[in-house]
Amino acid sequence: MVKFMTADQAALLVPDEAHLALLGSGGGVLEPDLVYEALEKRFLAHGAPRRLTVTAACGFGDKGCGGISRFAHEGMTRRFIGAHWAWSPQMQKLALENRIEAYNLPQGVLVTNYRELAARRIGLITKTGLHTFVDPRLGGGQVNSSTKKPLVELIRLQGEDWLHYQLPPVDVAIIRGSLADEDGNISVRNEAANGELLPMAQAAKNNGGIVICQVKQVVRKGSLCAREVAVPSIFVDAVVVSPGQWQSRGGEYEPAFTGQEHPLRQMPMPMPFGIRKVIARRAAMELYKGNIVNVGVGISDGVASVAAEQGLLDAVTMTVEQGLIGGLPSRGDLFGTSLYPSAILDAPAQFDFYSGGGLDIAFLGMAQADLQGNVNVSRFGARLAGCGGFIDISQNAKKCVFCGTFTANGLEVQLHHGKMKIVHEGTISKFLRQVEQVTYSGAYASQQGRSALYITERAVFELTSAGLVLTEIAPGISLERDILPHMEFRPIQRQPLLEMDPKIFQE
């Protein structure tokens, strides 16, 4: 029998040492913020619940005190298993200072593993993560020396290497919907994504645990049609009503995020002209009619904006790992939503499609690249960004286009009459002899016959079996002055070296 209660009452249901599965994505999407706030408030006032294991497949919050950061208190969280860490500097700090056990595992692995937990199977067996930092031979996704227990095992099946992931059983799942009827059936009618809320709930219930769901409104019994129920009441224990719940931090409700049509489709303003747009324009030149596409967060999310600006959205199908098919993926803090999607799937179903090789092309970020074509987006310097869905997507897409600036920290350029001039060089080199952490293995991709490009504002590289090959440079850029001195290795050069299309450098 579902009970309706306040957030403070729901917080009392979470025992010490429980494994909490948290729902949420990006800037407040699907985030049961009232319940998370109540749990933090209870801990700060009474020191409970303590020694939690917390799992979050997505990064979410305000990069300050909200979202995952509600649980970033020493004593409250003992172990954090996350895919994307960048939204919580506080949780990063606890991990980097060795004050919690910390794991970084792929987003798709985490969301599909909930289904394995729900069915009480032995765990997830997949090739996703091989030859990256989550491979036990390269660290097993363990972030620090406090993290002793491996969650990933290398196994051999039918003469091939596989990874076996085993997460701890879920004791408490905290999820969110739009509406609950009086029986406790949950609808996500006004949510911008479905995420992994159903398998999370099933994983908790089949382990004898509990499910707490936050909704905006309660409707009368029988008013939700069966096809609208995303989580049946048999999987729900407690419902918390939050009348002030927003669809995202972008606003209380945007109908276009749920796919509802407007008489006139209103698109956001085009990207401002600059380095990011130059990179996105060159990357968008890799699109072909009929492509099924994924765009990642960061510089690469500008590819969707450029495609819309150039009238290409109807020729390709954009997708986002939160389960969105079609439409225009959002940039920046609203990443994980799309304007006018044609379908919204559960996240595990989306990752099944990705892992099976369904993507024609993926546009992803690039913090570091090296001679072998390896890419690092997960951990560099003092920053623990996490891999998010990057490994699931990059390892299985037919083609990857990695997007990033050539150097970082202080880079300034001048774009004039179709040419580029470096005004101030960035102080951090991004093309290294060896990346700090392998989030994408160039050698493994080449072995599998997958292609990759590495696109910056001034140069384009291509993955080959021999490593990175420099294929294009921007008009106005000198190879000897602007490229080679800022790389830790000398790349193979295509002969003849091509010039990037001057049109992409014009406002």
Provide the annotated active-site residues: 321
Secondary structure class of 358 (helix, strand, coil): coil
CA distances from 319 to 337, 341, 344, 373, 481 (A): 10, 9, 10, 25, 39
Report how far residue 324's alpha carbon sits from residue 76's, in angstroms, rounded to the nearest whole number: 34
Strands (DSSP E) found in 83-216: 101-104, 124-126, 152-157, 160-165, 172-176, 179-181, 186-187, 210-215
Rounded CA-CA distance 158/296 in Å is 33
> In this structure, what DSSP letter does residue 487 have?
B
- How many angstroms separate the CA atoms of 72 and 280, rounded? 35
Asked if 359 contacts 400 with a C-beta cutoff of 8 angstroms, the reply is no
In this structure, is the dihedral angle defined by the CA atoms of residues 65, 67, 72 and 73, taken in order, positive or negative? positive
Rounded CA Rg of the chain? 23
**Using the 8-state DSSP alphabet, how is residue 486 labeled?**
G
**263: buried, middle or exposed (CB in 10 Å: 19+, 13-18, 0-12)?**
exposed
Torsion 173-179-185-187 (CA) sign: negative
Q: Is residue 338 classed as helix, strand or coil in its secondary structure?
A: strand
Q: Which residues contact 444 (CB under 8 A, 6 or more apart)?
A: 130, 131, 395
Residue with tokens 């986002």: 320
Do 165 and 126 meet the contact criterion of CB atoms below 8 Å apart?
A: yes
- At 405, list the tokens: 């600036």
